[in-house]
A and B are shown apart, each in its own frame.
Chain A
């Protein structure tokens, strides 16, 4: 089955700096890669996703890149703000029912 590895587990940046979180996956059949932001005690919120037919997608300060050959994808947050502080999860789909396999998460802290 699919296995998703996520690094780093914690990331601390200064406000205004960029943050990058990286994930690798094992199943070459995966073709959907969402990123979720989860605040303490809340539901995961989809912030951006990418499908295997594109290599990069951007939405304001957030971008995701995908390298299918190397089986890795990354989340880039520019001009970070304190409200970006949260746990971020990457995921990859698996199987015909669209199961998502999640990475272990990255706790991002943005210091003002």
Chain B
């Protein structure tokens, strides 16, 4: 149980374009979803936290107009990287927790590798 999927698993886009990444909880209702960014050989950095039906809470230093997060349902959250630049190239990972999962335990998606050329 507690399976999280992400799509796509990798994407290459041109500088200036936008990319949407989907995060789905497959077998539970995700009341909270988290988006992380991980650069090579570095740790996971929390970008934002989103609750279903509410605006996302962004971490300090993360541009909310550049990284648009939508959590429209209890099983789906999307991250849109707008006007992507090469420095946005990274591994983006989502995680989810639910009302009926263990308190504070997060279940991670497989990640999306974004390359901006």
Contacts and interface: CB of A to CB of B under 8 A. Distances in A.
Interface in B39-71: 42-46, 49, 51, 57
Nearest to A98: B104
Contact of A89 (B44, B46, B97): B44
A58 to B, nearest CB: 18
The DSSP consensus for interface residues of chain B is strand
A99 B43 contact: no
The DSSP consensus for interface residues of chain A is strand
B80 interface: no
Interface residues of A, number: 21
B51 A97 contact: yes
A99 B49 contact: yes
Contacts of B109: 43
Contacts of B110: 42-43
Contacts, number: 51
B25 interface: no
A104 B43 CA distance: 5
B57 A97 contact: yes
B43 A44 contact: no
Contacts of A45: 108
Contacts of B105: 32, 34, 46, 49
A92 B113 CA distance: 25
Given A42-B111, A43-B93, A43-B111, A98 B106 contact: yes
Contacts of A36: 108
B44 A44 contact: yes
Interface string A92-112: 010001111111110000000
Contact of B46 (A34, A43, A101, A104): A101
Interface string B87-105: 0000101000100000111
B75 interface: no
Contacts of A44: 44, 93, 108
B42 A43 contact: no
A98 B93 CA distance: 17
Contacts of B106: 34, 98, 100
User: Which 3 interchain pairs have the tightest Cβ spacing?
Assistant: A98-B104, A32-B104, A43-B108
